[in-house]
């Protein structure tokens, strides 16, 4: 990809935090079937080299990618940079994307791995809680806050304390509502590892949220 094209892609990626992720999940005012058709058409055009088609793909998926990056990093500027990197990488991978569903899987996998890699290579980063050190016990139920453990600002801040792999699993599980088998495929983990991350992370988050002291 030449520099001019890369610069254009970066200009097209714009997902301000004032726009909720839920508002970007479908094309405004379109039934789900119509949205699927629009996504398929945009992918077909983008694969054929049509830049307008690629811009449409960015528009359709930037909210999802940006939201994961923002919740993972907790920093707007860093989330924007990660989202831009993901879409630049997507442009070079279009010939390998087979369908809109494959595209979503590719985006979730790529943004998750980029977030994990970025966190691991930061020189300055918050204290991380290793998943191996989280308390073990009975399976933890979801938070009382409407069943979404990531719903409140306090819980989102606590999410930043989880190690990168655990954080990615929690975002894919409770923001994207993916099954453990899908998360395992996206992150290159075993299903049992994914389930362990979910169980132990929920247990730790619930303990911190309710003020129980486990030494962290």
214 assigned to some structural domain: no
- In this predicted structure, the answer to whether residue 37 has a pLDDT above a threshold of 90 is no
Q: Do 92 and 184 reside in the same domain of the chain?
A: no
- Please indicate whether residue 8 or residue 55 has the higher confidence score (pLDDT): 55
Q: Do 74 and 146 reside in the same domain of the chain?
A: no
Q: Band the pLDDT of 107: cuts 50, 70, 90.
A: very high
- Please indicate whether residue 125 or residue 109 has the higher confidence score (pLDDT): 109
Q: Can you give the pLDDT at residue 159? A: 84
Count the domains in the chain: 2
Q: Do 105 and 196 reside in the same domain of the chain?
A: no
The reported pTM is 0.70
39 assigned to some structural domain: yes
DSSP state at residue 75 = -
The CA distance from 89 to 86, in Å, is 5
- In this predicted structure, the answer to whether residue 16 has a pLDDT above a threshold of 70 is no
End residue of a domain, out of 70, 93, 121: 121
Instruction: Please tell me the number of Cα atoms within 13 Å of 169 on its side-chain side.
Output: 25
Other CB atoms within 10 Å distance of the CB of residue 176 = 17
Tokens of 198: 């979910």
Domain that holds residue 112: 3-121
The CA distance from 177 to 174, in Å, is 5
- In this predicted structure, the answer to whether residue 88 has a pLDDT above a threshold of 50 is yes
Q: Do 145 and 88 reside in the same domain of the chain?
A: no
Q: Do 71 and 116 reside in the same domain of the chain?
A: yes
Q: What are phi and psi of 163, to 5 degrees?
A: -65, 155
Rounded to an integer, the average pLDDT of 124-150 is 43
């Amino acid at each position: 990809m030449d520099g001019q094209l890369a610069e254009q892609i970066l200009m097209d990626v714009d997902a301000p935090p004032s726009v909720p992720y839920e508002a970007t999940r479908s094309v405004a005012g379109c039934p789900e079937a119509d949205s699927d058709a629009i996504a398929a058409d945009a992918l077909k055009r983008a694969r054929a080299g049509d830049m307008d088609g690629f811009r449409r793909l960015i528009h359709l998926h930037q909210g999802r990618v940006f939201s994961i990056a923002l919740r993972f990093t907790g920093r707007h500027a860093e989330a924007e940079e990660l989202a831009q990197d993901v879409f630049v990488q997507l442009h070079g991978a279009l010939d390998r994307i087979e369908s809109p569903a494959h595209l979503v899987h590719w985006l979730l996998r790529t943004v998750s791995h980029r977030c994990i890699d970025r966190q691991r290579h930061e020189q300055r980063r918050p204290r991380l809680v290793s998943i191996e050190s989280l308390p073990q016990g009975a399976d933890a139920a979801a938070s009382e806050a409407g069943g979404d453990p990531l719903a409140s600002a306090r819980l989102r801040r606590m999410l930043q304390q989880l190690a990168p792999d655990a954080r990615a699993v929690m975002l894919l599980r409770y923001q994207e509502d993916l099954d453990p088998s899908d998360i395992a495929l996206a992150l290159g983990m075993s299903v049992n590892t994914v389930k362990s991350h979910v169980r132990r992370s929920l247990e730790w988050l619930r303990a911190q949220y309710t003020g129980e002291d486990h030494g962290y």
